[in-house]
Structure 1
């Protein structure tokens, strides 16, 4: 609908095709744009091949036969991000990665706002890209998925970052290298790069003249990292101590990495350090992203429903586990998207008291972790919460970090997180 509004506003001749028989916005489209031709159901190769350009939804794989037939006929493939980049008059900060995109995008946006700039935030998060276009905007901060980047060739970001890489969407990509290649497109023709020095897979394969790195190690000159000083851990820039991590509202090493990434992005855009640190101290995290819910009988409960892949769950387990005096009771499972869960075994063995599994691929998760800790199987999230309350001891934390998508049992990761919080509130 964002594309429809944009193309209609610019007087373009276009038609709409949707692979679903009754897409959710069909009635809106027909009511507001009765002149637009709409085709619903299986995509027609002949119809698509008659177009000059196809703006493809990120939800549709480019390997779809009708799209491949159109490509073979010389039809151009593009997407809303490409179109946005061609019309945006302000600098674009482009943020991708397997995990923490939304957190870092939101945090960077708040840093720009704290510096007094008019910032527009969106893309894969919140507002669709084309709805953000406004000549009054000073800077665009964009979260971009690998699916969006597949159809993006004209991005030319002022600053680009791939925060991290872990196996995800293996039900759509041929292999991990195929997925990495899609993520790496964020760097194409970017003026400045921000690089995670702790994650080789996320780093650009071509040298660049303007690079700032972040990581959890002690930073060299011109880098962001962590330093110890008088028994406290600090966010640091080279030798300069910036802020004690104890003054952040978010916990865990993964959140410290997010803070450092945001600082590196802001520095690449010459933001005042004071404004960035003010925004950092005010940032309380996002819903469903390692979100602290409450303490009950000495046990902290965390909702990380957004941990829809193995890498995100790994970050949450290691981040909270290292920052907690007790053990974790992990709730995991759902639609595994063809992922390999074996990399969770070591951190689960180190930090977890037990793992509760549920959902379509619960047995795959259980088999991967069975040698690490006791595994409990349940059929609902409510049952998982009730069992977790019994298993957790004072000083422990219960962590919902599914390592899986939610669509086997829920409408979205948000609904899954809300049901988790509701089940927690309903405990006696």
Structure 2
């Protein structure tokens, strides 16, 4: 009998493997930048200017994986070769890599309607400002912030000087020259941090909490960037939006738009004005500045020896910030007496070829130039004014009344020259000049000893210079060579 062969048992059919569903992204806070929550996320820094470079450097030092995405080609980037090892650079355009990141850090110069920002928004990737990301690593709550269309840098310097005179260890960061991300690592608990913050920095700051802040003034200077005056005002308002109720915000009572913002502010509000009023906590009285905070005795302090009513207003704003931060009145008197002003802001450059020379290269808009002319009204009819550069919206017609009263001659430079000549026709004699060097040379030819040469361009500088500082330094070098 044949043995029946054993059949191998049938194998059970393999179960079809389920496709692994993608892991859900961890829930991350989008109302603010929290370093601990975002620690495992790759950071995308948009833009490789100064702010972008130092933001990338800070995040890399803090252990984040960093991608820097820049629209300019690599050869046009000053900081490309300085990025630390491990930081990836995408130059020549914002590609798909930005969408692989967990969050983005926006450099201040990137326009709100930039396509890359729309792509990030559509992908649900939060975008934070360089200011907010850097401030997330700030160890001190003693933060003073200054914003406004004009006067920010001067008030920032003044406030820092007042707090130093009060014995504080003070750091100045932001638009004043050193990006917040570049200097925040040097700040220690108990230090005072004074920040100059622009609307560009504030617009993407989802959370920002200074202890004291000031809104000096608001004009239409940056509406082209923000798209509307409402958006510009909303950006300025972010300086106080997250402040505690016991914080302090200082407002210019004489500036309609700044005063209007105060109505929406829920913190303690202090106002300054050149004229006394029941509203003002700082005002001018008999040539001195009077300060009176709620519940304190009034004090009088001599203003710094700087030209113009605008500098009295600047000093009052800085004084209120310092007093609100605990500085004693005697510190104000000491610091204001020693304060010499800030470079490129109605800066006295001495004499050259018999002319008094003033460097106001920071006068990048019509309002700034109006302030400069008002501060020199005692020189009426003797001012040689250099105007021009890259024009901003609005034209130059608002200068006509002061130009016709105070200015002997206008010397135009840069791409705005034709528009200036058109808007100021008949207000003063206009000398078209291609360059700043030519304008200074013509001024020396037509000027008489005792007259004033004023560089206050009412324009941006980027058509011929790197920035307003470069323009101001070139002007001062031309004066030095002429002596």
Please, what TM-score do these two structures have when normalized by structure 1? Answer: 0.91
2:98 matched to 1:48?
Answer: yes
2:199 matched to 1:146?
Answer: yes
Deviation at 1:195, TM superposition (A): 0.3
**Which of 71, 87, 104 is equivalent to 2:137?**
87
2:48 matched to 1:2?
Answer: no
2:176 matched to 1:122?
Answer: no
294-303 vs 116-125, which deviates more?
294-303
Deviation at 1:141, TM superposition (A): 0.3
Deviation at 1:401, TM superposition (A): 0.4
CA RMSD of aligned residues (A): 2.1
| Higher RCO (CA 8 Å, separation ≥ 6 residues) | 1
2:275 matched to 1:235?
Answer: no
Distance 1:3 1:382, change over 3 A: same
Deviation at 1:388, TM superposition (A): 2.0
Counterpart contact for 2:410–2:429, Cα < 8 Å: yes
| Aligned position for 2:231 | 178
| Aligned position for 1:106 | 157
Distance 1:258 1:409, change over 3 A: same
2:83 matched to 1:26?
Answer: no
**Which of 218, 221, 234 is equivalent to 1:168?**
221
Deviation at 1:140, TM superposition (A): 0.8
**Which of 304, 311, 314 is equivalent to 1:255?**
311
| Aligned position for 2:36 | none
SS at match of 1:169: helix
Q: Could you tell me how far apart the structure 1 residues matched to 2:200 and 2:399 are?
A: 25
2:452 matched to 1:397?
Answer: yes
Distance 1:406 1:57, change over 3 A: same
Find the structure with the greater CA-based Rg: 2
SS at match of 2:315: helix
SS at match of 1:262: helix
346-355 vs 254-263, which deviates more?
346-355
Counterpart contact for 2:55–2:134, Cα < 8 Å: no
**Which of 17, 40, 44 is equivalent to 2:69?**
17
- Structure 1: where are the runs of 5+ without partners? none
Q: Could you tell me how far apart the structure 2 residues matched to 1:394 and 1:326 are?
A: 13
Counterpart contact for 2:103–2:127, Cα < 8 Å: yes
Counterpart contact for 1:329–1:399, Cα < 8 Å: yes
| Aligned position for 2:111 | 61
Counterpart contact for 2:349–2:359, Cα < 8 Å: yes
SS at match of 2:288: strand
Q: Could you tell me how far apart the structure 2 residues matched to 1:350 and 1:166 are?
A: 24
Deviation at 1:227, TM superposition (A): 1.6
**Which of 147, 152, 157 is equivalent to 1:96?**
147
2:416 matched to 1:361?
Answer: yes
282-291 vs 385-394, which deviates more?
385-394
105-114 vs 48-57, which deviates more?
48-57
2:384 matched to 1:329?
Answer: yes
- Structure 2: where are the runs of 5+ without partners? 1-52
Counterpart contact for 2:352–2:479, Cα < 8 Å: no
Q: Could you tell me how far apart the structure 2 residues matched to 1:213 and 1:391 are?
A: 45
Deviation at 1:299, TM superposition (A): 3.5
Deviation at 1:240, TM superposition (A): 5.1
Deviation at 1:207, TM superposition (A): 4.2
SS at match of 2:332: helix
Deviation at 1:361, TM superposition (A): 0.9
Counterpart contact for 1:254–1:316, Cα < 8 Å: no
Deviation at 1:395, TM superposition (A): 4.3
SS at match of 1:183: helix
| Aligned position for 2:475 | 420
What per-residue deviation string (whole Å, max 9, x for no partner) do you get for residues 47-88 of structure 1? 223322110111211211121111122110102211233232
Q: Could you tell me how far apart the structure 2 residues matched to 1:215 and 1:237 are?
A: 11
SS at match of 2:357: strand
Distance 1:386 1:53, change over 3 A: same
Distance 1:427 1:274, change over 3 A: same
286-295 vs 338-347, which deviates more?
338-347
Deviation at 1:404, TM superposition (A): 0.7
Q: Could you tell me how far apart the structure 1 residues matched to 2:267 and 2:115 are?
A: 40
| Aligned position for 1:77 | 127
